[in-house]
Amino acid sequence: MGYLRKNTSKQRLTRLQAALFGSVVLGGVGLAMPACSEIQPPPVSTTIASGTVEDGYADLAAAVMPAVVNVRVERRGTAEGGPDSPMDDPEMRRFFERFFGQVPEGVRPRRMVGEGSGFIVSPDGLIVTNYHVAGEADKIVVTLSSGEELKATLRGADQKSDLALIEIKAGKPLPYVTWGDSGKVRPGDRVIAIGNPFGLGGTVTSGIVSATGREIGSGPYDDFLQLDAPINRGNSGGPAFNLRGEVIGVNTAIFSPSGGSVGIGFAISSNQARQVVDELMRHGTVERGFLGVGIQSIDADLARVLALDGTKGALVSEVEVGGPAEKAGIEPGDVILEFDGRTVEKVGQLSRYAAATPAGKTVEAVLWRDGTRKIVRIEVGRMPGKEEVASADRDRQADNRPKLGLSLARLTPDARARLGLKDEANGVVVAQVEPDSPADRKGIRPGDVILGIDGKPVEEPRQVVDGLQRAQAEGDRVVLLLIMRNGEQIFEAVPLASS
């Protein structure tokens, strides 16, 4: 959404690249307004004149544009290529192939320049932008709507949410904008977006909110507004406003086969951005809550097996040993329906709810287990940092734990009835099979019931895991599963794989 260009004296080449290249990131945003030595100006939204949409958006745009800025960044590339080399960027390679017929060997620009957008959120110069615009920059320059250029510093950045907070010192109070409540935004609401597309300077576009709560696979905490207001490269980090002049989203991504706007743009919801920015302002980083579970969505088939009325909730597929969830008694096969008083309709919601919960807080979760609702209390942990995650990964590799590629659930009374099993039948239900896993290659499929492993009957998912670890400890490379399928019992010898 921002863009990069090669540092060159050839104006034509610069303009071509400016229209094609992606960008770098940096920055974040603050909520508390630090004291300013001079009288603080009111939020710019208070100056918006009343009028109808039919009259256009001129008054709204005039009021908020002074708080929208251009963010220009520089970063150093590497002469020999590698992950920081622009020549490894697919768009850069396509540019050379299109205009020069080939990618020249040894062309490794050492300095890359990018541009994006941002908006001022406090009178003393705190600015929100995207991580992918400024988060990895070596130099940041902000251009105000007046044309004044100021050097900026990075106050904090969060790659997972693609948000960054940068700061400028203007020596005077600056116009700023305020946050709106994205929870009140509805599809069909009118919006305007302001940014710096293709380096053209402050540009206003209008449209409507096409959808809310979009998850586009960009990260674990996706919560996007989908907009049809034209958003192009260089708009990254710019604000999306409601008609009251409040920021309801931070423009971040587009879906486009051509690289330009096709009417499908995405903005980080203001409620999520506001929380992240507050953390960045106070700490420079974001601390997130942690449950220690692997979760997956529920389809119609899983809902039937689990005796659920609908597909809402998050199915627990894995529980980390010693984690907050295990300590609370949560087990694989549980479905989390509510967390801290909020309904969990989709998997992504639980991830966001948990991440937003302070570490150490005890909350209630409503589970679905064995066809009944159950309430547990969880003391939320702290999300491990990069070093802790790396250490845990090394431990897991050293542990070399075996796996089959299965997600398992308990055999509920309703599942027994649906599968044609007797009331006294025991076992665990296969809820999901990982593609190309040992189980998948042996033809095991969702709905199969595992009755035993290596001659030992099982009634709980944990017993299957124990059986795998026991087999590995004894040096076995294959486990023998007794499976019930379509009313018939069959044996399958399944090779072990390491996790």
Q: CA angle 227-280-378, nearest 5°? A: 90
Check residue 195 and report its DSSP letter: E
400-498, CATH topology level: Pdz3 Domain (2.30.42)
Mean pLDDT computed over 461-485: 83
Residue located via tokens 């303009």: 15
pLDDT at 123 over 80: yes
Q: Which residue has the higher pLDDT, 297 or 255?
A: 297
Q: Which residue has the higher pLDDT, 32 or 492?
A: 492
Give the pLDDT of residue 185.
93
Tell me the β-bridge partners of 295: 316
In angstroms, the CA 465 to CA 401 distance is 10
Q: How many CB atoms lie within 10 A of CB 396?
A: 12
CATH number at 289-386: 2.30.42.10
Give the pLDDT of residue 108.
52
Mean pLDDT computed over 262-287: 87
Give the pLDDT of residue 249.
93
Handedness of CA 380, 385, 387, 390 (dihedral sign): positive
Longest Cα–Cα distance in the chain = 81
Which tokens belong to 189?
């609401």
Mean pLDDT computed over 270-278: 91
CB 28 within 8 A of CB 281: yes
**408: Cβ contacts below 8 Å, ≥ 6 apart:** 332, 333, 428, 429, 430, 431, 450, 461, 464
185-215+223-280, CATH topology level: Thrombin, subunit H (2.40.10)
CB 66 within 8 A of CB 175: yes
pLDDT at 119 over 90: yes
pLDDT at 70 over 80: yes
Give the pLDDT of residue 245.
92
Identical fold between 185-215+223-280 and 289-386: no
CA-wise closest residue to 68 among 84, 44, 51: 44
What is the percent of the chain where pLDDT is above 90?
Answer: 29
Q: In 400-437, which residue ranges form alpha helices assigned H by DSSP?
A: 413-418
**DSSP-based three-state secondary structure for 60:** helix
Mean pLDDT computed over 212-235: 77
Q: Which residue has the higher pLDDT, 159 or 256?
A: 159
Check residue 309 and report its DSSP letter: S
Residues identified as active-site: 132, 162, 236
Give the pLDDT of residue 169.
94
Sort strands 335-339 and 362-369 into parallel, antiparallel or unpaired: antiparallel
Tell me the β-bridge partners of 167: 153
Residue 496 confidence class, pLDDT cut points 50, 70, 90: confident
- The secondary structure of the chain in percent helix, strand, coil, rounded to multiples of 5, reads 25, 35, 45
Q: CA angle 147-152-156, nearest 5°? A: 135
CB 337 within 8 A of CB 367: yes
**DSSP-based three-state secondary structure for 439:** helix
CATH class, domain 3-168, is mainly beta
Question: pLDDT, tens digit, for every residue of 19-56?
Answer: 322 332 222 222 233 333 344 566 775 555 555 566 78
Question: pLDDT, tens digit, for every residue of 357-371?
Answer: 888 999 999 999 988
**DSSP-based three-state secondary structure for 101:** coil
Instruction: Report the range of poorest mean pLDDT among 12-26, 80-94, 284-298, 402-416.
Output: 12-26
Domains of the chain: which residue ranges?
Answer: 3-168, 185-215+223-280, 289-386, 400-498
**173: Cβ contacts below 8 Å, ≥ 6 apart:** 36, 38, 39, 40, 41, 123, 124
SS3 letters across 450-462: EEEECCEECCCHH
